[in-house]
A and B are shown apart, each in its own frame.
Chain A
Amino acid sequence: MNPFFKKFSEKFIEGLLMISGTVTSLTVVLIVFFLFKEGISVFNKKAVEEGYVIAVNKSNKVNSISPEDIKNIFDQKITSWKDLGGKDSIILFRLEDISTYFTDEQIGENFERLPACISRVVDSIPQIFAFFPEKYMDKNFKGKEIEAGKISFNTFFGGKEWFPTAQPAAQLGAKPLILGTLWVSLGAILLALPLGLAAAIYMSEIAKDKVRRVMKPLIELLAGIPSVVYGFFGLVVIVPAIQKLFNLPVGETGLAGSIILGIMALPTIITISEDAMRNTPRSMKEASLALGASKWQTICRVVIPHSISGITAAAILGIGRAIGETMAVLMVTGNAAVIPHSILEPMRTIPATIAAELGEAPNGGVHYKALFALGCILFVMTLVINLTVEFITGSKKYKKH
């Protein structure tokens, strides 16, 4: 073969391989880019219905109102400006209220004088809280348009209500979802960790080789079953069982999610911690036995301390699995977006929310972006978890040498 061609093709192939090598890095970068681009843009967007404005009297000191307060004003849970830093009670004004202030004639047949009328109402009533379409905003409007329903970090992370399709302002408080995710995942790990560890200890230290050789692939199989199948199993078996057992109105609860997630986290926990334990040097175990320790003492005092970083990694990774799991949770937790008080209530997690709502959220809208912001939270959570695990297992290697 022509040596020049040979060299060229070598280089070409290396280039091709290199490009493939960078695909994963590129993907991660792209994911971060798209996720955060869409997610971050939810902040400073308005939660108020598109095309509507909120205005108050010029004398009013209040300059901005959160989406939650807007909803409370409409629900008459807030009836006084005092709650928002102003004074006097609130007089709510909606477009349909215009007829109490003006006659049809004054407004005009084709609403041509409506903007002026609204302007006059807002100007004349100091306690007014006016909510109307932007198109009826007078050119020289005499009231004060206020920043309303802006989604800030605080309203997003601190808001207690998730109700993205609420009128007049979408309620985008992620707190119930974050808490729901944590509750369900922690519940899962509380169930799975002791069981998983016990099984790992059994498999690595106690079981006969024959038993282990059967058990290990079975447990790996457990990891391969798709999450919808677990969800389905949970739905038809665990949910009704919980309902009966605790005498609940519905069986779709955080507990159902925790149980299913716990089962799903088991293989991760077992395989990783078993690996760690099996890495305990044989001579270290023998040294313990040679000192008159029983096998059980050796497990507790030598094997477990030696593999503690692996065990920790297993636990954290188990939590990570649980936090990111979507379908199974979506199918069994009942998906009520309220701040949880008990594991026996329906709960909703971040992934389940995204899965359930993204299909209905109009592209590019506030809701859509809010779901991407949830995706960002999820991404950061799992990234932190993965880095922590790497740190734990990495520092261990360092220590050994």
Chain B
Amino acid sequence: MLKLESKQVNFYYGSSPALKDINLEMESNTVTALIGPSGCGKSTYLRLFNRMNDLIDNTKLTGEVLIDGIDIYKKGINVDTLRKMTGMVFQKPNPFPKSIFENVAYGLRVNGITDKQFIEERVETTIKQVVLWDEVKDKLKKSAFELSGGQQQRLCIARALAIQPSVILMDEPTSALDPISTSKVEELIHELKSKYTIVIVTHNMQQAARVSDHTAFFYLGELVEVGTTKKIFTNPTQEKTQNYITGRFG
């Protein structure tokens, strides 16, 4: 089933274009990797799906961005509600200055849930989901800053999962992590695929190859090529893609 879709999307910071005529479709329960050299618009594209770019003044969007077939930029869409449908994981772990428990409960609380028992159960299941439970179950009341970087990042993933989004957007989620933490997060992505639609931005070709079903290659704001990961990495149609994945530029 078609989950995410962009039709003829152009995006401008001020007058300079960051995305040009992007047409892309992503199926439910798949992982799509966005790759490309720095500054090519991957983050910008990712952030279209939870309207994070709205926060930046002086930007312009044309074309349509759809989730479940609904244009999320049309009038009458409540941005807070939309963002609840999508979870986002950032480049650096960025837990809130709160306890481990409260970090995960945050999304529930801001969305008006007050039932204590419900929150506790949800927090526990989500922390288990990211395979962090055994490490933190005794210190849920402790500050989230006391965790290691890798643990913090898994906590941030749990935080995003707690509100049960259907889409997870990850912007270089492992670039600040050590190899072991990285592989834990990658395993997690595998697990999560059965329930969510995942879009991941990465600079790591191996990672893209390992975790994703589809790969989209961006260059200078344009979508150069998209296809199954296997095809992109073994037999790309475009020369630029070939050059990039073999490390000749970027």
Contact = CB atoms under 8 A, between A and B. Distances in A.
Interface of A: 208-209, 281, 283-284, 286-294, 297, 301-302, 305-306, 308, 399-400
A293 B84 CA distance: 8
B55 A290 contact: no
B87 interface: yes
B106 A301 contact: yes
Given A305-B97, A306-B97, A400-B145, A290 B92 contact: no
Contact of A209 (B52, B57, B87, B163): B57
Contacts of B94: 281, 283-284, 287
B110 interface: yes
B90 A297 contact: no
Contacts of A306: 96-97
B139 interface: no
B107 A292 contact: yes
A258 to B, nearest CB: 33
Contacts of A400: 145
7 contacts: A283-B90, A283-B94, A287-B159, A291-B160, A292-B81, A292-B107, A399-B143
Interface of B: 50, 52, 55, 57, 80-81, 83-84, 86-88, 90-92, 94, 96-98, 106-107, 109-111, 143, 145, 156, 159-160, 163
Contact of B80 (A293, A305, A399): A293
B83 A290 contact: yes
Given A288-B96, A288-B110, A291-B160, 12 more contacts: A283-B90, A283-B92, A289-B52, A290-B87, A291-B87, A291-B110, A292-B110, A293-B106, A293-B110, A293-B111, A301-B96, A306-B97
B36 to A, nearest CB: 21
Q: Among the interface residues B81, B94, B145, which one has the most CB atoms of the partner chain A within 10 A?
A: B94
Contact of A288 (B84, B91, B106): B106
Contacts, number: 73
Contacts of A290: 50, 52, 83, 86-88, 160
A139 to B, nearest CB: 77
Contacts of B90: 283, 286-287
A260 B97 CA distance: 36
B83 A301 contact: no
Contacts of B143: 399
Contacts of B57: 208-209
B96 A292 contact: no
Given A283-B94, A305-B98, A291 B145 contact: no
Most buried by B among A287, A288, A400: A287
Contact of A292 (B84, B98, B156): B84
Contacts of B160: 290-291
B243 to A, nearest CB: 32
A279 to B, nearest CB: 12
B83 to A, nearest CB: 5
A290 B55 CA distance: 11
Nearest to B83: A292
B89 to A, nearest CB: 9
B111 A292 contact: yes
Given A302-B96, A305-B96, A305-B98, A291 B55 contact: no
A287 B50 contact: no
Nearest to A208: B57
Contacts of B107: 291-293
Contacts of A305: 96-98
Nearest to B54: A289
Nearest to A292: B84
A399 B145 CA distance: 8
Contacts of A399: 143, 145
A211 to B, nearest CB: 12
A286 B57 CA distance: 15
B102 to A, nearest CB: 9
B164 to A, nearest CB: 11
A283 B91 contact: yes
A88 to B, nearest CB: 68
B156 A287 contact: yes
Contacts of A281: 94
Nearest to B109: A301
A294 B110 contact: yes
Contacts of B88: 286-287, 290
Residue among A288, A289, A294, A302 with the highest chain B CB neighbour number at 10 A = A289
Nearest to B102: A301
B20 to A, nearest CB: 25
A208 B56 CA distance: 11
Nearest to B110: A293
B56 to A, nearest CB: 10
Contacts of A302: 96-97
A291 B98 contact: no
Nearest to A306: B97
A297 B145 CA distance: 21
- Among B88, B91, B96, B109, the one with the most A-chain Cβ atoms within 10 Å of its Cβ is B96
Nearest to A285: B55
Given A292-B81, A294-B80, A400-B145, A287 B96 contact: yes
Given A284-B94, A302-B96, A291 B156 contact: no
